[in-house]
């Protein structure tokens, strides 16, 4: 699987862009704030139908877009077919602009209910769920180096990004689960304020237990596959001195020997036991939205006891294992997106990642300059310079 064409219109600092791509390594270099990350963001948008880089998708729309619309279109070649995905995002209320900007830039009144995002697959309008996973990507950005030492939310997001691309029912369950958690938290507050009967929570608990069971099952399955690959990467990078184990930590008591039915029943019982505390706090305390991952190297918890080098090695090994998980799950080779991570790695880890990169079907890589790349890598790469939203082919190295 690879992206053969990327077309941008009013996306971030790209007014218009047509970029032909293919198999192999594509290296985009340039100073900061020139548009390198924007290229990877647009590519990931085709796979996930949402931005990994923005708190709201509307942020990707160029401030000066005449129609308040950004478009990303991509042609994707897969094993048995070729598809086109188009994402159009509307921003009717861009930020305040200078007074000399034409009136066409002023906030646009859209009819009630007008969608802010429109998706198409082979020119046919589709729902978000129909787009996610049609193209598969693995993103490795500097923030991903903090999977190990960052917040639990970052580790859950890592799992969710991969699983949504390979398992549609997981993505559907996750969306429904989040809605139930929101509804249940509101219900808990009403019960606390004596505005609702506590028994009204029983129906939501039943839905929550069923959806949580599916989410936990898929997360455990992914972690099991990660543990088939990540230890080998960790040992290779560390010279055989370190063994990595990734442990899934649900927020409620859990036994891997339980059947699916047992898990639902035990979760429901624990919700009942925690109900008084949840009502008092007005939040859901148990469930996949509170789960975490633990990274152990030689049985030691890397979050608490790991050195910076061990933590980065564990993060790198885990991201490479994510690639293997997606390939094993679907048979497709995901597009690998590397956003300026080489400047964050020391020589040993950089060299190891570069060797791994050359084994993948398509890699889009960004860097501020070319000085850190070995000549043999540069000779095999398609190199482009990025300057203020424009891309030009670099001279042969």
pLDDT digits (tens, 9 = 90+) for 153-196: 999 999 999 999 999 889 999 999 999 999 999 999 999 998 98
For residue 114, pLDDT beyond 70: no
For residue 396, pLDDT beyond 50: yes
For residue 94, pLDDT beyond 90: no
pLDDT greater at residue 159 or residue 57: 159
3-state secondary structure the chain: CEEEEEEEEEECCEEEEEEECCCEEEEEECCCCCCHHHHHHHHHHHHHCCCCCCCCHHHHECCCCCCCEEEEEEEEECCCCEEEEEEEEECCCCCCCCCCCCHHHCCCCCCCCCCCEEEEECCEEECHHHHCCCCCEEEECHHHHHCCCCCHHHHHHHHHHHHHHHCHHHHHHHHHHHHHHHHHHHHHHHHHCCCCCHHHHHHHHHHHHHHHHHHHHHHHHHHHHHHHHHHHHHHHHCCCCCCEEEEEECCCCCCCCCCHHHHHHHHHHHHHHHHHHHHHHCCCCCCHHHCEEEEEECCEEHHHHCCHHHHHHHHHHHHHHHHHHHHHHHCCCCEEEEECCHHHCCHHHHHHHHHHHCCCCEEEEEECCCCCCCHHHHHHCEEEEEECCEEEECCCC
For residue 111, pLDDT beyond 60: no
For residue 100, pLDDT beyond 70: no
pTM of the shown model: 0.89
The pLDDT of residue 132: 93
The pLDDT of residue 397: 57
pLDDT confidence tier of residue 256, bands split at 50, 70 and 90: confident
The pLDDT of residue 359: 87
For residue 98, pLDDT beyond 90: no
For residue 296, pLDDT beyond 60: yes
pLDDT confidence tier of residue 31, bands split at 50, 70 and 90: very high
The pLDDT of residue 103: 42
Tens digits of residue pLDDT in 81-92: 999 999 999 987
The pLDDT of residue 166: 93
Mean pLDDT of all residues in 64-70: 88
Mean pLDDT of all residues in 5-33: 95
For residue 41, pLDDT beyond 90: yes
The pLDDT of residue 262: 79
For residue 113, pLDDT beyond 60: no
For residue 345, pLDDT beyond 90: no
For residue 325, pLDDT beyond 90: yes
**How large a percentage of the chain has pLDDT more than 90?**
67
């Amino acid at each position: 699987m690879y992206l053969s064409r990327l077309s941008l219109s009013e996306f971030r600092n790209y007014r218009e862009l047509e970029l032909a791509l293919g198999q192999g390594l594509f290296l985009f270099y340039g100073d900061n704030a020139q548009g390198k990350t924007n290229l990877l963001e647009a590519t990931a948008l085709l796979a996930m139908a949402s931005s990994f880089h923005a708190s709201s998708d509307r942020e990707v729309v160029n401030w000066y877009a005449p129609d308040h619309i950004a478009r990303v279109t991509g042609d994707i070649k897969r094993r048995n077919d070729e598809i086109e995905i188009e994402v159009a995002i509307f921003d009717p209320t861009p930020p305040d602009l200078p007074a000399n900007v034409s009136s066409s830039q002023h906030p646009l009144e859209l009819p009630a209910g007008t969608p802010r995002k429109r998706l198409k697959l082979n020119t046919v309008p589709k729902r978000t769920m129909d787009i996610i996973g049609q193209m598969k990507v693995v993103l490795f950005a500097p923030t991903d180096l903090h999977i190990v030492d960052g917040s639990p939310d970052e580790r859950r997001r890592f799992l969710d990004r991969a699983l949504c691309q390979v398992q549609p029912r997981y993505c559907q369950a996750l969306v429904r689960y989040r809605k139930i958690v929101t509804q249940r938290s509101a219900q808990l507050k009403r019960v606390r304020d004596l505005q609702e009967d506590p028994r009204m929570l029983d129906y939501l608990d039943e839905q929550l237990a069923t959806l949580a069971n599916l989410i936990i099952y898929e997360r455990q399955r992914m972690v099991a596959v990660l543990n088939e690959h990540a230890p080998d990467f960790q040992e290779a990078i560390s010279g055989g001195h370190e063994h990595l184990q990734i442990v899934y930590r649900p927020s409620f008591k859990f036994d891997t020997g339980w059947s699916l039915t047992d898990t639902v029943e035990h979760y429901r019982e624990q919700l009942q036991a925690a109900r008084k505390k949840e009502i008092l706090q007005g939040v859901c305390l148990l469930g996949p939205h509170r789960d975490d991952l633990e990274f152990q190297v030689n049985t030691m918890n890397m979050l608490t006891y790991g050195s910076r080098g061990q933590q980065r090695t564990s993060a790198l090994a885990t991201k490479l294992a994510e690639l293997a998980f997606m390939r094993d799950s679907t048979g497709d080779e995901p597009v690998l997106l590397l956003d300026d991570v080489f400047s964050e790695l020391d020589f040993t880890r950089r060299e190891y990642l570069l060797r791994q990169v050359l084994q993948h079907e398509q890699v889009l890589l960004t860097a501020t300059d070319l000085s850190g790349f070995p000549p043999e890598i540069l000779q095999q790469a398609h190199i482009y310079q990025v300057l203020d939203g424009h891309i030009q082919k670099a001279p042969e190295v």
